[in-house]
Structure 1
Amino acid sequence: MKLGIRIVGDIARTMEAETRAGQKAVTAAMRKAGAGLKSAWRAQITGAGLGSRLARTIRSEQYPKGRQSLNAAALVWSKAPVIVGAHDTGPLIRSKNGFWLAIPMPVAGKSSRGGRVTPGAWERRTGMRLRFVYRRTGPSLLVADNVRVSKAGRVRENITRHKDGRVSSRLQGRATAVIFLLVPQVKLPKRLDLARDARAVENALPGMIVANWTETRS
């Protein structure tokens, strides 16, 4: 018995067409994978209650830009990697100088830039001094004495400054307010699982490439 092999059509053209089909399929699949992972990560962040602003820091890019390739790749990243990474890993946070972490209470307000305020910034902003209160059990405190807390939750000095320079204190409404809790360390809860979505996209990628591969005909 004799077997014969005969090539039908131009093999070079066939291979070239198949390569183009592969480039198109891989590029399209990577574009879809990158966009899908970006959407999944954004949904995770908003679903965890971390806000749409942090979710919008998730970006995606495809390479090579402007052309199709069998080596196409997608990059998904965050423009706030430290914050997103912390919520993804749940790290143990300690003070850099080995002392206390100051956690602001709602009455501390916000910093001038809208973020968390520090004890030093709070004293400069309000002109009031904070007093340290050590507690053997539970967090220690930084408190402000002789203050009034308004209905809006703002802390104000419970004093009157006269035009002649005199300062008088009001007895009515005088209070001590807790401005900061002091703790040696804090364990940030893990609220994200970004690797889970990355694995799902990775597992789906071969099927996405096949689905986008158009059969060529000689």
Structure 2
Amino acid sequence: MPDIKLAAFGNLQKDLDAQRKDVGAGIRAGTEDAAVFGKTRFRDMVTGAGLGNRLAKSWRHNVYPDRRKETFEPAALIFSKAPELMNAFNEGGLITPRRGAFLAIPTEFAPKSRHPLARHRNMPLKEFREVFGDGVLSLREKKGSGGQVLYAFAEQGFRRRFGKRRGVSRVKKGGRIKSEPVLMYVLVKQTRLQRRLNIDAVGNSVQQVYPSMVIRSILKRLGQ
């Protein structure tokens, strides 16, 4: 009885190797897409909470291993370069000063910062003193606070602005426009930070879409 030999037609091994590479590349690309999606969602969460673009852009992502290494088990890490701030706004809680006896909270009438990375923010108390001097502000205790809350007023040299250009203006001594006492800072012993972020909810949403993004990427690589 003659032997029966079976052989696959074409270069099956070559086709399988190509598909194997496409599947691996698809898994990595899907992981990368999910990481970018997650990073964007975290950034949108921060800006939506009114915490600004600078803090939002602290969210980054990395995919492992290096793109040049073939793998079927890539991993992505989505992280913030400002983890302490993120945890504070995610959990809320009590804030106390690290140095000194009080936290200085700028009011809307505190001048805008001159620092190039914070030009749209109100000056912190330290910068105000560096720019205008230590003798500009006077402290008044809030009635009934038992010394827990102080108001820092600029008695001379400033005047409040209202309307669209709400803020504060510098007033020249002896000029036609008179200055007025302006509340620049509220000094408190401690303050409670309101929870403004929900990191777990965003993380769960990313994990839910991750499998479908990987499958979609694999099918795209295979031309399906």
TM-score with structure 1 setting the length: 0.71
Taking a change above 3 Å as real, the CA distance of residues 197 and 98 of structure 1, as seen in their structure-2 partners, is: same
Aligned residues between the structures: 200
Preserved contact between residue 30 and residue 218 of structure 2 (Cα < 8 Å): no
CA contact (8 A) 1:148 1:175 kept: yes
Distance 1:149 1:132 in 2: 18
The alignment status of 1:121 with 2:127, answered yes or no, reads yes
Could you state the TM-score of these two structures normalised by the residue count of structure 2? 0.70
Give the CA deviation at 1:53.
3.6
- Whether the aligned pair in 1 keeps the contact of 2:159 and 2:181 (CA below 8 Å) is no
Equivalent residue, structure 2, for 1:188: 193
Cα RMSD after superposing both structures: 3.6
**SS of aligned partner of 1:154:** strand
Gaps in structure 2 of 5+ consecutive residues: 1-5
Q: CA 1:18 to 1:124, structure 2 compared with 1: closer, same or farther past 3 Å?
A: closer
* Residue equivalent to 1:144: 154
Quickly say closer, same or farther: Cα 1:209–1:126, change in 2 above 3 A.
closer
Taking the aligned partners of 2:186 and 2:201, their CA distance within structure 1 comes to 35
| C-alpha separation in 1, matches of 2:179 and 2:218 | 75
Q: Does 1:131 align with 2:133?
A: no
Cα deviation for residue 148 of structure 1 reads 4.1
Alpha-carbon contact 2:160-2:182 (below 8 Å) kept? no
Bigger radius of gyration among the two = 1
Residue type of the alignment partner of 1:143: F
Contact map agreement 2:159 2:179 (CA 8 A) in 1: no
Percent of aligned positions that are identical: 26
1:133 Cα deviation from its structure 2 partner: 1.1
Q: Give the alignment of 1:92-171 within 5 angstroms.
A: 92-97=94-99, 99-113=101-115, 114=119, 115-127=121-133, 128-137=135-144, 139-149=149-159, 151=161, 153-154=167-168, 156=170, 159-160=173-174
Deviation of 1:192 after TM superposition, in Å, equals 1.4
Counterpart of 2:114 in 1: which secondary structure?
A: coil
Gaps of 5+ in 1: 1-6, 162-169
